[in-house]
């Protein structure tokens, strides 16, 4: 038997709300379509179109444009379009305006023929005064932003003047002024003659530097100053001075002010105001990687232990694989921005699937930035290491002199699109100098990033070699392994290298590895990446058995720096896939 029920009905209030909702939804498309005014400009190229939009007052009006403003804005539009076209060299345009309104909004159509362009016929750039013999001004005159035969562009004519004024201020011609500035346009001949004359006046010199600060010894702060009173004025030296104070980490605010109005005998006094940063800073952070698992990092630093600029710090880092604690004491030398002595003491414990080690160390290092930009480090480190590799336990005592050269260049300190880093280091020990074994070791690392369309190409290479007679006595920290997040992805951390007779990985004398990676953005802070890694550790070159891994991943430009998640397949490994999570800079 079948039961029959009447159709269900909505209560009256519900029906009314439903009807109102449907009506609103029906209106939304119309509202959305009429949300913005439409300005259509005939197909004359992006340069002209963009400049007209930038000049049009109507372009800044919304759909609520009142009718009483319509006529004055249209009259102004005629003038604004002509101004926009003249700025690009079009002085004889023909155009018509079609302004319309509908229920939702308004629209403007511009039918345009820009006409023939005016071209530069003569260009007269002249320097009068001492700067006439200055080669930097000669270069400006010989390479102007606009030349005879080019289409006239007002912005490039103005750029000539701004370049001359900026160069004069940079080079110390502080009384320089443009004495003649003319743009003569002959519309009938479609030609323009440009004239710019600069009177440079005398060149000034750097004067005495007055320091306003009471935190450090005056002799320390003055060592940041790399020029002498009487040197030729160059504003770039003042910018470099300000940057050196900022980079020192001693100050929270730096002001370097030339005072030309107080100049005597053309020597410009310089006033420097330095505000010290807080004496203490504290660090607390967390991170994670597949190699070492989750980690926590704590630190404290005293930025001014005394008025001589000494400072010290202490740090602790703990993870399932690696625990380290260290203290450091820094002493500024000659040029405090580029030279210092670091005294260090530390303890490190590492427990991986291939080795265990406990290292106690004391060290001294002399760091100096060379004029070329390279950072040179000479060091002496005393280490005691207790280690175990493949069930073999031993201890070593080493006194190791070291030498390192490093340099980095990038267009962004955290998220570079182009840049490189190079690092070369040497270290060794001798049984004749308080060491358990004699050895010499060299390592090199290279990173390179370049744009590739909207994405990037990232290249990496690492290599190392060791000269040692009795490899079995070489401690774990000095042996080479491969595999892991920053080596050959697809393999575990330090899971690649020579093995003993039982198949246990014991590390090698040498190592070579490399990587090629491409990433491509798919959202504002996100990218996808594909990569191929290869390399291994080995004892003899003819035994080098490179292992390879390939994979893909995602990159997040997080507020704390790049975070990478990769899935890698080891071509010669036992695992099908391996997850790799890393945090840190690309270079």
Average confidence (pLDDT) over 412-438: 96
Q: At which residue do the structure tokens 């690649």 appear?
A: 496
Q: Please give, one letter per residue, the 3-state secondary structure of 423-491.
A: EEEEEEECCCCCCCCCEEEEEEEEEEEEEECCEEEEEEEEEEEEEECCHHHCCHHHCECECCCCCCCCC
Q: Whats the size of the chain, residue-wise?
A: 587
Average pLDDT of 104-112? Answer: 92
Distance CA 40, CA 33 (A): 16
pLDDT digits (tens, 9 = 90+) for 348-386: 999 998 999 999 999 999 999 999 999 999 999 999 999
- Complete edge-to-edge strand list for the sheet that includes strand 38-41: 38-41, 106-113, 94-101
Interval 453-495: pLDDT, tens: 999 999 999 999 999 999 999 999 999 999 999 999 999 999 9
155 pLDDT tier (thresholds 50, 70, 90): very high
Closest to 122 measured CA to CA, from 64, 181, 183, 70: 183
What integer best gives the mean pLDDT of the chain? 91
Please report the pLDDT score of residue 154 as a whole number: 96
Tokens of 226: 């790399």
Cα torsion angle, 557, 562, 567, 572, sign: positive
pLDDT value of position 35? 57
Lowest average pLDDT, out of 10-14, 101-105, 555-559, goes to: 10-14
CA distances from 350 to 210, 324, 341, 346 (A): 52, 8, 28, 13
Secondary structure (3-state) at 334: coil
Give the sheet arrangement for strand 267-276, strand by strand. Answer: 205-212, 267-276, 251-258
What are residue 287's DSSP bridge partners?
295
Q: What is the pLDDT of residues 176-225, one digit of tens each?
A: 999 999 999 999 999 999 999 999 999 999 999 999 999 999 999 999 99
pLDDT digits 0-9 by tens, 246-263: 999 999 999 999 999 999
Question: In b/e form, how buried is each residue of 34-43, taking b as 16+ CB within 10 angstroms?
Answer: beebebebee
Q: DSSP letters of 74-100? A: HHHHHHHHHHHHHTTTB-S-EEEEEEE
Confidence of residue 36 (pLDDT cuts 50, 70, 90): confident
**CB-based burial label for 164 (10 Å; 0-12, 13-18, 19+):** buried
Q: pLDDT: is 383 or 17 the higher one?
A: 383
User: Could you write out the DSSP letters of every residue in 203-216?
Assistant: PPEEEEEEEE--SS
Burial class (CB in 10 A: 0-12, 13-18, 19+), 53: middle
The mean pLDDT value for 267-289 works out to: 95
Which domains are delineated in the chain? 38-113 (3.10.20.310), 119-199 (3.10.20.310), 205-276 (3.10.20.310), 280-583 (2.40.160.50)
Q: What is the pTM of this model?
A: 0.80
């Amino acid at each position: 038997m079948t039961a029959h029920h009447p159709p269900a009905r909505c209560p009256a209030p519900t029906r009314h709300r439903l009807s109102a909702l449907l009506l609103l939804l029906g209106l939304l498309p119309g509202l959305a379509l009429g949300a913005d005014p439409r300005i259509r400009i005939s197909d004359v190229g992006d340069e002209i179109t963009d400049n007209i939009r930038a000049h049009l007052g109507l372009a800044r009006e919304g759909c609520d444009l009142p009718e009483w403003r319509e006529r004055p804005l249209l009259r102004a539009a005629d003038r604004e379009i002509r101004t926009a076209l003249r700025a690009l060299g079009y002085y004889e345009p023909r155009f018509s305006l079609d302004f319309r309104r509908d229920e939702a909004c308004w629209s403007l159509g511009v039918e345009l023929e820009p006409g023939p362009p005016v071209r530069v016929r003569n260009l007269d750039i002249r320097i009068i005064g001492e700067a006439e013999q200055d080669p930097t001004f000669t270069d400006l005159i010989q390479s102007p932003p606009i030349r005879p035969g080019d289409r006239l562009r007002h912005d490039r004519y103005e750029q000539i003047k701004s370049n001359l004024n900026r160069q004069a201020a940079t080079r110390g011609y502080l009384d320089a002024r443009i004495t003649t500035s003319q743009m003569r346009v002959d519309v009938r001949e479609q030609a323009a003659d440009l004239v710019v004359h600069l009177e440079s006046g005398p060149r000034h010199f750097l004067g005495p530097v007055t320091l306003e600060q009471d935190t450090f010894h005056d002799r320390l702060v003055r060592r940041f100053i790399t020029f002498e009173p009487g040197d030729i004025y160059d504003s770039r030296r003042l910018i470099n001075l300000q940057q050196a104070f900022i980079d020192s980490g001693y100050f929270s605010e730096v002001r370097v002010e030339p005072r030309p109005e107080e100049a005597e005998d053309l020597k410009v006094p310089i006033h420097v105001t330095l505000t010290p940063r807080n004496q203490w800073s504290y660090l607390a952070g967390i991170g994670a990687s597949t190699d070492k698992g989750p980690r926590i990092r704590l630190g404290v630093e005293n930025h001014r232990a005394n008025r001589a600029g000494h400072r010290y710090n202490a740090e602790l880092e703990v993870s399932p694989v690696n625990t380290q604690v260290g203290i450091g004491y820094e002493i500024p030398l000659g040029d405090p921005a580029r030279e210092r002595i670091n005294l260090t003491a530390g303890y490190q414990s590492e427990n991986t699937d291939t080795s265990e080690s406990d290292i106690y160390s004391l060290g001294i290092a002399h760091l100096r930035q060379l004029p070329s930009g390279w950072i040179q480090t000479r060091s002496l480190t005393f280490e005691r290491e207790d280690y175990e590799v493949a069930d073999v336990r031993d201890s070593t005592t080493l006194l190791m002199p070291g030498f390192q050269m490093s340099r980095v260049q990038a267009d962004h300190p955290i998220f570079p699109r182009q840049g490189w880093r190079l690092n070369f280091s040497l270290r060794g020990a001798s049984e004749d100098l308080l060491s358990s074994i004699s050895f010499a070791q060299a390592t090199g690392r290279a990173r390179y990033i370049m744009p590739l369309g909207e994405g990037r190409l990232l290249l990496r290479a690492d290599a190392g070699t060791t000269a040692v007679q009795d490899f079995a006595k070489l401690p774990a920290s000095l042996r080479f392994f491969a595999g892991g997040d920053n080596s050959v992805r697809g393999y575990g951390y330090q899971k690649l290298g020579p093995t003993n007779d039982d198949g246990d990985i014991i590390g090698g004398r040498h190592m070579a590895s490399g990587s090629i990676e491409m990433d491509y953005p798919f959202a504002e802070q996100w990218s996808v990446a594909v990569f191929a890694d290869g390399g291994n550790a080995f004892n003899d070159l003819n035994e080098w058995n490179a292992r390879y891994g390939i994979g893909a991943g995602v990159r997040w430009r997080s507020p704390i720096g790049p975070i990478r998640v990769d899935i890698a397949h080891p071509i010669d490994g036992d695992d099908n896939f391996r997850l790799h999570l890393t945090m840190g800079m690309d270079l």
